[in-house]
């Protein structure tokens, strides 16, 4: 990378040429035989639908978009081609009451996401048909998906089938089911909403040191003595454990994506599978944490951070304490960025490992 690239807070670059896929595996398999149409419905003067061929026949534009996934990987400068949302909406004459657009996928769970109409247009939302000059691959949302810049990528819907023009917002799948932030501005790090946790319950949980099976996303548990914490299967996305004492804690099967463990003491802590469910450590931050004797066997480590990321970093945590007693599978390291992988493999005493292409 020649010019210093500015990334939103706590994002990391994916290896050049790589594009991870996230979420549903593909369009609804039960409807494979049905022709693909994109329909505009709701508060419009004229409801209309376009076949994929008709979309290709409309004037095409190109856009370079920096992809920022909420799980902390970024892929700058992805080149998409397609039809501006504006073009299809103009043809449908949105009514004056129209304030939101909900994009609905032709997928098994009718996945959706929404944007304020004004934002969707100001951010040049594109109905993308191609990527780097080639038709969009199936797993990345082909034949047609939306792409919107300046928002986490969950606002870019794969397998677009319907554009609903609405007066009131209709919360999307991740926004409703998983507590993802509805605005999703990566520059303001709007990843997850932090639900209100009742103060009494919060104190009781910390005192009992038992978070098992609870949904506690964004919980503030930093700087605390939580030695031996039980947190099996807990949902702890974006949780704060900075500088906490967590020796011997059990996080088996827990969802810890984007959790903060900077400077935490995690000796002999366990991040293994529980009832077949692996611990999710995607995007978790372990800089300066003591992980000697900890077990991360089978944990999903995509985008996790163990070592300093360099000058862009505001907080100066050092590397995590890892050694031969820390258990991580070689396959887990392949999910880290090259820089993190090299650093972790040295700390584990594995030396240089050859880079592997996906
Ligand atoms: N239909 C549908 N669209 C979706 C998702 C999904 O599960 N289903 N996941 C979203 C999320 S969370 C992300 S990060 C991006 C991932 O796009 P990619 O797989 O092309 O990288 O798609 C978004 N759009
Ligand atoms: Mo995502």
Q: What is the mean pLDDT of residues 150-165?
A: 98
The residue nearest atom 5 of ligand 1, judged by CA position, is: 23
Tell me, using a 6 A CB cutoff, whether residue 217 lines ligand 1: no
- Token pair for 286: 């372990």
The residue nearest atom 10 of ligand 1, judged by CA position, is: 154
164 Cβ contact list (under 8 Å, min separation 6): 41, 42, 101, 102, 103, 104, 170
Q: Give the DSSP letter of residue 151.
A: S
Q: If phi over 0 gives left and psi between -120 and 50 gives alpha, with beta otherwise, what is residue 346?
A: alpha
Residue 102, CA atoms < 13 Å, CB-side half-sphere: 17
Tell me, using a 6 A CB cutoff, whether residue 153 lines ligand 1: yes
Tell me, using a 6 A CB cutoff, whether residue 21 lines ligand 1: yes
Q: Which of 156, 176, 179, 186 to mutate to test the pocket of ligand 1 (most atoms within 8 A of CB)?
A: 156
Band the pLDDT of 356: cuts 50, 70, 90.
very low
**Domain locations in the chain?**
12-176, 194-358
121 Cβ contact list (under 8 Å, min separation 6): 85, 86, 89
Atom of ligand 1 nearest to the CA of 19: 21
Band the pLDDT of 36: cuts 50, 70, 90.
very high
Tell me, what's the pLDDT at 305?
94
2.40.50.100, 3.40.50.2000, 3.30.530.20, 2.160.20.80: CATH of 194-358: 2.160.20.80
DSSP SS3 for 136: coil
Question: Which homologous superfamily is 12-176 in?
Answer: Oxidoreductase, molybdopterin-binding domain (3.90.420.10)
The residue nearest atom 21 of ligand 1, judged by CA position, is: 21
Tell me, what's the pLDDT at 258?
92
Residue 355 burial by Cβ neighbours in a 10 Å radius (0-12, 13-18, 19+)? exposed
The residue nearest atom 23 of ligand 1, judged by CA position, is: 154
Atom of ligand 1 nearest to the CA of 23: 7
**Tokens 């004459």 -> residue:** 93
User: Which residues have their alpha-adjacent CB atom under 5 A from ion ligand 2?
Assistant: 22, 69-70, 154
Q: Is the pLDDT of residue 314 over 60?
A: no
Q: What is the mean pLDDT of residues 277-285?
A: 95
Q: Is the pLDDT of residue 197 over 90?
A: no
Tell me, what's the pLDDT at 6?
85
Q: Rounded to 5 degrees, what angle do the CA atoms 75, 77, 83 make?
A: 110
Q: Is the pLDDT of residue 312 over 70?
A: no
Backbone dihedral angles phi then psi of residue 295, each to the nearest 5 degrees: -120, 110
**Residue 323 Cα to ligand 2 middle (Å):** 32
Percentage of the chain with pLDDT > 70? 94
Q: What is the mean pLDDT of residues 6-18?
A: 89
Residue 207 burial by Cβ neighbours in a 10 Å radius (0-12, 13-18, 19+)? exposed
Q: Are 221 and 248 in contact (CB under 8 A)?
A: no
- Token pair for 2: 């020649």
Tell me, using a 6 A CB cutoff, whether residue 24 lines ligand 1: yes
Query: What ligand has the least distance to the C-alpha of 283?
Result: 2
DSSP SS3 for 305: strand
Q: Give the DSSP letter of residue 327.
A: B
Of 339, 325, 316, 250, nearest to 290 by C-alpha is 325
Q: What is the mean pLDDT of residues 325-330?
A: 94
For the residues of 85-116, what is the DSSP string, one character each? HHHHHHTT-B-TT--EEEEEESSTT--EEEEE
Q: Which of 112, 140, 152, 158 to mutate to test the pocket of ligand 1 (most atoms within 8 A of CB)?
A: 158
Tell me, what's the pLDDT at 1?
40
Q: Is the pLDDT of residue 195 over 80?
A: no
For residues 241 and 259, give the distance between their C-alpha atoms in angstroms, rounded to a whole number: 7
Q: What is the arrangement of strands in the sheet containing 100-105, beginning at the earlier edge strand?
A: 48-51, 37-42, 160-166, 100-105, 112-116
Band the pLDDT of 10: cuts 50, 70, 90.
confident
Mean pLDDT, the chain, rounded, equals 92
Tell me, what's the pLDDT at 179?
77
Of 113, 143, 152, nearest to 11 by C-alpha is 152
Q: How far is CA 358 from CA 187, 290, 352, in A?
A: 29, 31, 18
Backbone dihedral angles phi then psi of residue 163, each to the nearest 5 degrees: -115, 110
Q: Is the pLDDT of residue 226 over 80?
A: yes
- pTM of this prediction? 0.71
Q: Are 31 and 106 in contact (CB under 8 A)?
A: yes
């Amino acid at each position: 990378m020649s010019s210093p690239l500015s990334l939103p807070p706590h994002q990391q670059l994916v290896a050049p040429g790589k594009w991870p896929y996230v979420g549903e595996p593909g369009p609804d398999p039960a409807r494979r035989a049905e022709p693909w149409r994109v329909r505009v419905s709701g508060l419009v003067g004229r409801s209309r639908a376009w076949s994929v061929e008709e979309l290709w026949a409309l004037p095409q534009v190109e856009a370079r978009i920096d992809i920022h996934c909420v799980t902390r990987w970024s892929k700058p400068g992805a080149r998409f081609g397609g039809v501006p949302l504006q073009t299809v909406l103009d043809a449908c004459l949105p009514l004056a009451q129209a304030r939101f657009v909900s994009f609905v996928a032709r997928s098994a769970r009718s996945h959706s996401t929404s944007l304020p109409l004004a934002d969707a247009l100001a951010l040049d939302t594109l109905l993308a048909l191609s990527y780097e000059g080639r038709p969009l691959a199936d797993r990345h949302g082909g034949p047609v998906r939306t792409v919107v810049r300046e928002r986490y990528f969950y606002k870019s819907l794969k397998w677009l089938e319907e554009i609903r023009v609405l007066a009131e917002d209709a919360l999307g799948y991740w926004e409703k089911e998983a507590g993802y932030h509805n605005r999703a501005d990566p520059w303001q790090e709007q990843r997850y909403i932090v639900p209100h946790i009742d103060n009494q319950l919060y104190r009781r949980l910390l005192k009992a040191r038992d978070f098992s099976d609870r949904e506690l996303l964004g919980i503030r548990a930093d700087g605390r003595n939580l030695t031996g914490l039980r947190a099996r299967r807990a949902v702890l996305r974006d949780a704060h454990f900075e500088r906490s004492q967590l020796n011997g804690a059990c996080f088996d099967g827990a969802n810890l994506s984007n959790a903060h463990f900077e400077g935490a003491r995690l000796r002999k802590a366990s991040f293994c599978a529980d009832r077949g469910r692996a611990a999710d450590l995607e995007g978790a931050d372990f800089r300066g944490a003591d992980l000697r004797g900890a077990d991360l066997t089978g944990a999903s480590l995509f985008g996790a951070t163990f070592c300093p990321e360099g000058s862009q970093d505001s907080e100066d945590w050092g590397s995590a304490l890892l050694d031969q007693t820390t258990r991580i599978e070689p396959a887990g390291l392949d999910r880290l960025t090259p820089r993190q992988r090299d650093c972790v493999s040295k700390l584990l005493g594995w030396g240089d490992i050859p880079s592997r292409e996906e």
